[in-house]
Amino acid sequence: MKILIAEDDPLSSLLMQRTLEKFGYEVVLAEDGHAAIEILSQPDGPRLALIDWMMPKLDGLELCREVRSAQREGAYIYILLLTSRQDAEDVVAGLEAGADDYITKPFHPAVLRARLHTGRRILSLEETLVQAREEMRFKATHDALTSLWNRGSILSVARNELRRCERETRPFSVLLCDIDHFKQVNDNYGHLAGDIVLEEVGRRLVSSVRDYDAVGRYGGEEFLIVLSNCDENSLRARAENIRSAIASMSIQAANAELSVTISIGAITYSSSQPDVPLESILAQADAALYCAKAEGRDRAIFAAPLIEA
């Protein structure tokens, strides 16, 4: 594990480096507070730091404050403050500045090793909590089966993109997709086969759009695709590519090759006026989807471009 030593005295720095390398740490050195800040702010910077109280340019307390004020969503940095001061008010000042622990000079190597081990335990716990938080956030915003955006999240993405396109006077397009005869898949091959079809269709939809487009499970066998900065002409080509991506290859499920197609309702919206309801755009896409199904499925129907004067 990487550890930073911020110490301006070369001899003390060398002795600590040798001690920590014996403990199995990968040591990174900084001669002053500014160099330490630069190292700790790097994406792969050390998560453990031994900071001397007295340093040029930026002392240990100022360094602690800088690290804590800059640290928001990034990985936590455990700071052990090195000091020869032993008064209670000095200890309190160091901890209030943002240090997690302190150790007085001269220190015994075994004590330093134990203090750092405590720091590693805390960092491990913090990583576990962050991972659990991210998993909860993902589950709250994504569909459990397909791992696409869930209905609430894709609608939120669509509203945000609509407002952004209005501000920048750029076209905004959506595709409402429905798997054709999906009930027959469930009835003839079982719901597990249906789940496989939903997952595979979701994967193909994601692979058919740009990285900055969004795909969500709108409900049941329906999917909503939000296309940023996509005009009517581009939408027609994109819709055909997406339709073809689903229909071109069968899906293996329940020991059978299932031919799957989708129907698509598409619409483009261009506006310089704010606060146009997303619901009105989706209603027209839904009407176009209904027409696609009525006309024989496996096709895209385009609603008339919606333009707000």
Neighbours of 257 (CB within 10 A): 9
Q: In this structure, are residues 158 and 278 in contact, taking their beta carbons and an 8 Å threshold? A: yes
Neighbours of 258 (CB within 10 A): 18
How far, in Å, are 118, 153, 228, 229 from residue 242 at the CA level? Answer: 53, 22, 16, 17
Q: Which of 63-77, 140-154, 157-171 has the highest mean pLDDT?
A: 140-154
Model confidence pLDDT, tens digit, residues 41-78? 888 889 999 988 888 788 888 888 888 887 655 688 99
Domain 2-139 class in CATH: alpha beta
- Cα separation, 248 vs 238, whole angstroms: 15
Q: In this structure, are residues 52 and 85 in contact, taking their beta carbons and an 8 Å threshold? A: no
CATH 3.30.70.270-classified regions of the chain: 151-308
CATH 3.40.50.2300-classified regions of the chain: 2-139
> Could you tell me the pLDDT band of residue 309, with boundaries at 50, 70 and 90?
very low
- Summarize the confidence of residues 173-200 as an average pLDDT: 96
pLDDT at 307 over 50: yes
What phi, psi does 264 have (nearest 5°)? -130, 130
Model confidence pLDDT, tens digit, residues 178-190? 999 999 999 999 9
- Cα separation, 102 vs 96, whole angstroms: 12
Strand partners, 173: 227, 268
66 tagged catalytic: no
Greater model confidence, 83 or 261: 261
Length of the chain as a residue count = 309
Looking at residue 43, what is its pLDDT?
Answer: 83
Identify the architecture of domain 151-308 in CATH.
2-Layer Sandwich (3.30)
If DSSP codes are grouped into helix, strand and coil, which group holds residue 173?
strand
Looking at residue 274, what is its pLDDT?
Answer: 61
Task: Looking at the chain, list the stretches that DSSP marks H as alpha helix, in order from N- to C-terminal side.
Answer: 10-22, 33-40, 60-70, 88-97, 109-141, 151-167, 182-189, 191-207, 232-247, 278-294
Catalytic residue among 73, 221, 222, 295: 221
> Could you tell me the pLDDT band of residue 272, with boundaries at 50, 70 and 90?
low
- Cα separation, 177 vs 289, whole angstroms: 7
Residue 145 DSSP code: T
- Cα separation, 32 vs 6, whole angstroms: 6
Looking at residue 72, what is its pLDDT?
Answer: 58
3-state secondary structure 245-281: HHHCCCEEECCEEECCCEEEEEEEEEECCCCCCHHHH
Give 233-236 contacts, CB < 8 A, sequence gap 24+: 234/173, 235/173, 235/175, 235/266, 235/268, 235/302, 236/266, 236/300, 236/302
Model confidence pLDDT, tens digit, residues 205-247? 999 999 999 999 999 999 999 998 899 899 999 999 999 999 9
Looking at residue 257, what is its pLDDT?
Answer: 93
